């Protein structure tokens, strides 16, 4: 990534405040998974709120209850810059403390999807400025129960889907059981990747890349991809593929430590 080019574009649009705590690229551009049509997503961390006539205000469950986002096109590529207060980041990190985790609240009741995405992106962000702030935020995230929250949610959703599979198989609804097994596979693999610090289950299109980055020992990418693409599925005997999925769900549940 050409950081100077990114900063030049942002400076040209006058979208970087004078002294940000940090500014960093997130998403596919930061991870090297982008293509020519990929957006540039930038997070800027500030001490004061960003005000402009062009910014879109997004409501948040934080104080203040909003973040502002600016978007523009540079050539044919869309750029989006979102401004977060450093104090909002600390609020999000407090939401995923171990004390909150032990209260038993599910991740969905603790963080909004946008907050979850923000925290998950801290680990693989590409800093433009404010390396020290970013490093401290990453360390705070690692000490938090963020991973445990997401892992518990994914394992719970996988269990629920498995329960559906078993009920549907018992009543002979094999087509529905196949769909439920697909859901169970998705959630179980999300849990596996989250156990390796590969967050982002809210954006499933990157699951293959996240899987290859995590390199889990429970199952190889080739075997996972075979299941995901249902290569062994036999329409005359769906039970075989379903049971392969159920077995993997168990292996993952036994292989990932929740806390």
Partner 1 sequence: MSGATVVPGVPRRTWGIRIRRTQDGLTLGIADQAILLDGVAQEVYTALDGRTTVEQIADAIAAKHGIERGEVLGDVVDLLEQLGQVGVVDWVE
Bridge-based pairing of strands 77-85 and 40-46 is: parallel
> Is 159 near partner 1 (CB under 8 A)?
yes
Q: Pick one of 2, 18, 99, 254: the residue that binds partner 1 (CB under 8 A).
A: 254
Segment contacting partner 1 (CB under 8 A): 5-13, 33-41, 113-121, 244-252?
244-252
Side-chain-side CA neighbours of 81 within 13 Å: the count stands at 28
Q: Pick one of 3, 56, 57, 166: the residue that binds partner 1 (CB under 8 A).
A: 166
List phi, psi (to 5°) of 13: -90, 0
Nearer residue to partner 1 within complex by CB, 61 or 258 = 258
Q: Pick one of 62, 155, 157, 227: the residue that binds partner 1 (CB under 8 A).
A: 155
Segment contacting partner 1 (CB under 8 A): 25-33, 69-77, 214-222, 245-253?
245-253
d(CA 97, CA 23): 25
DSSP codes, 89-107: HHHHHHHT-HHHHHTT--H
Residues recorded for the chain: 259
Nearer residue to partner 1 within complex by CB, 6 or 158 = 158
Q: Please, what is the minimum distance in Å from the beta carbon of residue 156 to partner 1? A: 8
Q: In this structure, how many other beta carbons lie within 10 angstroms of the beta carbon of residue 116?
A: 24
Which 175-204 positions form the footprint of partner 1 (CB under 8 A)?
none
Q: Pick one of 162, 178, 188, 227: the residue that binds partner 1 (CB under 8 A).
A: 162
Nearer residue to partner 1 within complex by CB, 81 or 181 = 181
The token pair at 77 is 């590529």
> Is 238 near partner 1 (CB under 8 A)?
no
Total residues binding partner 1 (CB under 8 A) = 16
Segment contacting partner 1 (CB under 8 A): 69-77, 121-129, 158-166, 211-219?
158-166
Of 150, 147, 149, residue with least CA distance to 138:
147
Nearer residue to partner 1 within complex by CB, 137 or 191 = 191
> Is 105 near partner 1 (CB under 8 A)?
no
Q: Please, what is the minimum distance in Å from the beta carbon of residue 246 to partner 1? A: 5
The 3-state DSSP class for residue 140 equals: helix
Q: Please, what is the minimum distance in Å from the beta carbon of residue 162 to partner 1? A: 6
DSSP codes, 170-181: HTT-HHHHHHHH
Q: Pick one of 87, 135, 232, 250: the residue that binds partner 1 (CB under 8 A).
A: 250
User: In DSSP terms, which residues pair with 84 in a beta bridge?
Assistant: 45
Q: Please, what is the minimum distance in Å from the beta carbon of residue 240 to partner 1? A: 12
CB within 8 A of 249, min separation 6: which ones? 158, 162, 184, 185, 188
Of 185, 169, 186, residue with least CA distance to 177:
169
The token pair at 13 is 């649009």
Residue ranges in contact with partner 1 by CB under 8 A = 155, 159, 162-163, 166, 243, 246-247, 250, 253-259
């Amino acid at each position: 990534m050409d950081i100077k080019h990114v900063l030049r574009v942002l400076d040209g649009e006058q979208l970087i405040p004078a002294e940000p705590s940090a500014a960093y690229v997130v998403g596919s551009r930061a991870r090297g998974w982008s293509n020519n049509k990929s957006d540039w997503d930038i997070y800027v961390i500030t001490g004061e709120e960003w005000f402009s006539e062009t910014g879109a205000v997004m409501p948040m469950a934080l104080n203040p209850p909003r973040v502002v986002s600016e978007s523009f096109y540079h050539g044919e590529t869309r750029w989006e810059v979102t401004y977060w207060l450093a104090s909002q980041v600390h609020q999000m990190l407090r939401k995923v403390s171990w004390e909150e985790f032990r209260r038993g609240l599910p991740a969905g009741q603790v963080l909004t999807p946008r907050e979850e995405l923000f925290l998950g992106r801290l680990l693989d962000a590409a800093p433009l400025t404010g390396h020290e702030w970013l490093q401290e935020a990453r360390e705070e995230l690692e000490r938090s129960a963020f991973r445990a929250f997401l892992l518990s949610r994914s394992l719970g959703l996988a269990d629920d889907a498995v329960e559906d599979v078993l009920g549907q198989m018992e009543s002979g609804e094999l087509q529905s059981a196949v769909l439920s097994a697909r859901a169970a596979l998705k959630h179980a693999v999300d849990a596996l990747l989250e156990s390796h610090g590969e967050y982002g289950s809210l954006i499933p299109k990157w699951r293959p890349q996240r899987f290859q980055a995590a390199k889990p020992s429970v199952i190889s990418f080739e075997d996972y991809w075979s299941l995901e693409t249902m290569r062994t599925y036999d329409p005359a005997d769906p039970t075989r593929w379903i049971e392969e999925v159920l077995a993997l769900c168990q292996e993952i549940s036994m292989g990932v430590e929740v806390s």
